[in-house]
Amino acid sequence: MALVSTPATLERAVPVMDNAEVLRIRNDFPVLNQLVNGQPLVYLDSGATSQNPVSVIEAEQEFYEQRNAAVHRGAHHLAVEATEVFEDARQTIADFIGADYAETVWTSNATEGLNLLSYSLSTAGLWAAQGRGDQGLKDLALKPGDEIVVTEMEHHANLIPWQELAFRTGATLRYIPIDDQGSLRMDQAAAIIGPRTKVLAFTHASNVLGIINPVRELTALGHTAGALVVLDACQSAPHLPLDVKELGVDFAVFSGHKMLAPTGIGVLYGRQELLDILPPFLTGGSMITTVTMERAEYLPAPQRFEAGTQRISQAVALAAAANYLTETGLDRIHRWEAELGQRMVAGLEGISGIRVLGPAAGKERIGLAAFDVEGVHAHDVGQFLDSQGIAVRVGHHCAQPLHRRLGLTATTRASAYLYNTTDDVDRFLEAVAGVRSYFRA
């Protein structure tokens, strides 16, 4: 089958995935081989949580069967082996995103990574005032008059932590608005990001709109203003090649459960010189050098931010997931998902009473589509699709301000991944075409 026309950025000389290869890939995902309500499962909710291939499941199981022990704390054989595979996993993930080993911090998920960062920045001023850091830490401290800039399309995880940072420090939170199609108003961004901006945080790809934001342009604006640039890579790290150094961002976060790995594991990337001076978020064992009854001294990153017993088996499984994606080829995955995304949008636009959010068919997007069905609530749409074995997401997708801006309270979202076929999309479109008549909308 010929590829749907996509932007020039996707027209790279990489081997093209097709349905035959995807069907072979599906064999690696046991959960997809089942019936739901008497129908073969079509899983189109990977934007929320992806499924796990056998290699990832086995990596975590093998750790528990062969190497289960606390890391960094023992001289016995199992502890040494556990530490080795744990730190090997860190190197794998660092390589996966183009970072250095010590710039990769384990978290529970991207939400924790963003909260870690916002809390550490709010503590920077207190540390600096008490002489616990150098001039670099003082420069990171926020105060009244400073500004934090986000966008109107952010997931709550990349909005609320910055709201709270503004509350704790007296800084002002501002946002870059979107236009009626959902694209960032870059003409306004240049005016909003300025000398007072201390933090610029934005999503790489919108979990509602499917838009891929201009990271380099935004990063340049942020750095020209002297701001720290924070990238939410939750919807990009699983789906397209990600090189944080090449993009030039100062921090980035993503979650394992969206990229074939288990829940409970995520990553915070940060430039080494910044991580080493930021105050820790959680404190306790494993992240200290010296402790007295009065105070403690902390290790450099990444251990500085990894108090207590870590997510060892999950980190090992995340590394296995990264290897699976790398071996399949993220360029190829991105191109296949772009085709599926175009197929979804083009099909939805052809159904009466459907409003699709984000770029129109033919314009670049990741492989997801959120839409509104005239006269039918998103939850009813989701239940109707589920009755036919099709799993989608419903609600505001943790992006209430974005939905409010677009005049909606909820949408239905279908999100594809490397294990979805064009037949999956066609089944989904056929089902959506019957929604309004079923509900007599």
The answer to whether 124 and 168 are in contact (CB under 8 A) is: no
Radius of gyration of the chain (CA): 22
Q: Name, in order, each residue with C-beta under 8 angstroms of 342's C-beta and a sequence gap of 6 or more.
A: 4, 5, 6, 361, 362, 365
Read off the DSSP letter of residue 73: S
Q: What angle do CA 189, 192, 196 make, to 5 degrees?
A: 135
DSSP string, 173-224: EEEE-B-TTS-B-HHHHHHHSSTTEEEEEEESB-TTT--B--HHHHHHHHHH
Distance CA 418, CA 367 (A): 10
The answer to whether 247 and 271 are in contact (CB under 8 A) is: no
Distance CA 350, CA 330 (A): 30
Distance CA 67, CA 62 (A): 8
Strand partners, 148: 173, 199
Catalytic option among 3, 14, 288, 398:
398
Q: Name, in order, each residue with C-beta under 8 angstroms of 312's C-beta and a sequence gap of 6 or more.
A: 63, 70, 71, 82, 86
The answer to whether 279 and 227 are in contact (CB under 8 A) is: no
Number of C-beta neighbours around residue 91 at 10 A: 14
- Maximal C-alpha separation, the chain: 71
Establish whether 398 is a catalytic residue: yes
Q: Name, in order, each residue with C-beta under 8 angstroms of 404's C-beta and a sequence gap of 6 or more.
A: none
For residues 360, 202, 106, 56, the Cα torsion angle rounded to the nearest 10 degrees is 0
**Helix 312-328 and helix 330-349: axis angle, to 10°?**
80
Distance CA 428, CA 333 (A): 20
Catalytic residues: 398
